[in-house]
């Protein structure tokens, strides 16, 4: 029996020792486990970020393994004749008209180990099955070449015979064109006149959203490869031969900060600000954290355009230099300087986050964050964008001019032309790798807690002998007290009986 107790005691002591060791291991895992994981992954990710010929990264960078779709929504003008007479425009949204996109980089040339030159090329193909109708659907839209011509005439000195010019070409403020014409381009007499007048600036007698841009090498970038510092991989050094923009009024506004969107920081945090340069916007822009999310089983952070992205410099000091007194209000960004004076403005769709006056200037718009916000999903460890919706709207300012018949009665208004949504989705093989990375990251965080729980359980089990000894002692004490009480009770009874007998009278 004594031998059994000794063996039992040794067993519980061993369990206690194991429990303490396991807790120490869990503490080490808390302190060093995640740090080791971060260090190891950081090294591998930084090595993978560098752009070099024939590398895996080079293949992903030169032809991204993504599905990209662009959806166009056009604002059809329901009351064009009334608008010319001063009525508020009634607009209906027509769309989506969906185009798949092939992204590639051409003319790739490594200038040295640390810089590379290339031309990004985007080729769009119409997807009728995903669209609301055929490409030959007709919509009534604002005549952009006319609005641009009026804007230029207004800013020119002297009185040009605008009414004679527009009458000769029989042009109107609103025109009806097919979606294909609007996207790919259509002949316009005012564009023909501009081409003849300004051959250095105007290269075509057509107007179209993707004219000379669909499948063409219309721009050229020089970026860092990351060979000297992986953190700088993708950072833009020049665009179309410019190391700095010359559209805006401050040096900071003219800086080309960040990458072209192909690279993002690894180990993203909720405090990060993602900075990219967009040549269509002629500026760099910042995205901020919105919320945690889970896409296809992958934990991710959602980043979006902040509400003040297009606010004036009073509300957003980073926008100083973009307006220079030419701001119409908050929520719309003036692209005129970038487009040779054409009064074009970028906003979020349906004037989301813009001043109320823009929304009240037309009928038919209904801003909705769920439908119109600019949101991208990022896997935080690798910084990879795994999806999202990039959404923006193009508008043109139409101002009243008493000397031009076509606009002498119109109410000045910022006129919505169209908005687009660009969706990005990674190929399944890349998503699977990111899913595994996400699972490993979860395990690294959960395992220390599990080890700690096992250690505490071992210590709890090793306490059983002590609890047993404690209970036995209590039983012994209780038994001794009970026995003593019983003995005292018996003695008391005997004393009582003895006393009664001694006090009884003696009979003679």
Digit-coded pLDDT (tens) for 325-335 = 667 899 999 99
- Name the residue among 230, 222, 175, 187 with its Cα closest to residue 42: 230
At residue 319, the pLDDT reads: 87
Q: What is the pTM of this model?
A: 0.82
Quick one: which of 292, 225, 227, 289 has its CA closest to 263? 225
* Cα gap 86→223, rounded to integer Å: 50
Whether 313 and 319 have beta carbons less than 8 Å apart is answered as yes
Task: Tally the C-alpha atoms within 13 A of residue 507's C-alpha that lie toward its C-beta.
Answer: 0
Q: In the beta sheet, which residues pair with residue 299?
A: 294
Distance CA 188, CA 45 (A): 51
From first to last of the 508 residues of the chain, give the pLDDT tens digit. Answer: 455 455 555 565 565 566 565 555 555 555 555 555 566 666 777 777 889 998 888 888 999 888 999 999 999 999 999 999 999 999 999 999 999 999 999 999 999 999 999 999 999 999 999 999 999 999 999 999 999 998 888 777 655 688 888 888 889 999 999 999 999 999 999 998 888 888 888 888 999 999 989 999 999 999 999 989 888 899 999 999 999 999 998 999 999 999 888 888 888 999 999 999 999 899 999 999 999 999 988 899 999 999 999 998 888 888 888 876 667 899 999 998 888 767 899 999 999 999 999 999 999 999 999 999 999 999 998 888 999 999 999 999 999 998 899 999 999 999 999 999 999 888 888 777 777 777 766 666 665 566 556 655 655 665 555 555 555 666 666 656 655 555 565 555 545 545 455 554 444 3
């Amino acid at each position: 029996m004594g031998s059994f107790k000794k063996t039992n005691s040794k067993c519980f002591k061993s369990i206690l020792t194991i429990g303490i060791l396991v807790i120490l291991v869990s503490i080490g895992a808390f302190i060093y486990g995640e740090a080791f994981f971060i260090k190891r992954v950081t090294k591998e990710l930084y090595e993978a970020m560098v752009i070099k010929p024939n590398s895996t990264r080079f293949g992903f960078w030169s032809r991204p393994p993504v599905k990209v779709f662009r959806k166009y929504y056009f604002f059809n003008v329901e009351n064009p004749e009334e608008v010319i007479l001063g009525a508020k425009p009634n607009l209906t949204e027509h769309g989506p008209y969906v185009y798949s996109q092939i992204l590639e980089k051409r003319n790739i040339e490594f200038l040295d180990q640390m810089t590379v030159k290339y031309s990004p090329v985007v080729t769009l193909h119409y997807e009728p099955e995903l669209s609301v109708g055929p490409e030959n659907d007709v919509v009534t839209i604002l005549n952009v070449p006319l609005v641009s011509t009026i804007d230029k005439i207004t800013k020119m000195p002297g009185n040009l015979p605008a009414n004679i010019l527009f009458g000769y070409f029989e042009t109107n403020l609103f025109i009806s064109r097919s979606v294909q014409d609007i996207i790919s381009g259509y002949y316009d007499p005012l564009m023909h006149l501009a081409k003849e007048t300004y051959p250095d600036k105007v290269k075509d007698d057509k107007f179209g959203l993707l004219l000379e841009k669909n499948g063409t090498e219309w721009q050229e970038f020089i970026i860092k490869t990351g060979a000297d510092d992986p953190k700088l991989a993708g950072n833009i050094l020049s665009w179309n031969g410019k190391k700095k923009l010359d559209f805006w009024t401050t040096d900071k506004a003219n800086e080309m900060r960040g990458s072209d969107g192909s690279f993002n920081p690894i180990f993203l945090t909720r405090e990060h600000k993602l900075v990219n340069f967009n040549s269509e916007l002629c500026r760099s822009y910042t995205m901020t954290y919105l919320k945690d999310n889970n896409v296809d089983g992958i934990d991710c952070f959602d980043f979006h355009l902040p509400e003040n992205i297009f606010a004036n410099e009073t509300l957003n000091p980073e926008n100083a230099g973009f307006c220079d007194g030419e701001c119409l209000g908050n929520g719309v960004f003036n692209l005129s300087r970038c487009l040779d004076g054409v009064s074009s403005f970028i906003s979020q769709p349906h004037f989301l986050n813009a001043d109320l006056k823009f929304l009240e200037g037309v009928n038919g718009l209904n801003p909705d964050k769920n439908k119109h916000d600019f949101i991208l999903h990022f896997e935080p460890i690798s910084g990879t964008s795994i999806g999202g919706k990039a959404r923006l709207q193009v508008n043109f300012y139409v101002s009243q001019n008493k000397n031009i018949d076509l606009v002498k009665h119109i109410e000045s208004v910022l006129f919505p032309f169209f908005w687009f949504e660009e969706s990005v989705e990674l190929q399944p093989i890349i998503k699977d790798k990111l899913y595994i990375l996400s699972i490993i990251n979860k395990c690294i965080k959960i395992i220390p807690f599990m080890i700690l729980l096992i250690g505490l359980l071992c210590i709890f089990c090793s306490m059983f002998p002590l609890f047993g000894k404690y209970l036995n002692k209590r039983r012994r004490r209780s038994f001794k007290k009970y026995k003593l009480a019983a003995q005292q009770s018996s003695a008391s009874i005997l004393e009582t009986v003895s006393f009664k007998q001694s006090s009884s009278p003696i009979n003679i």
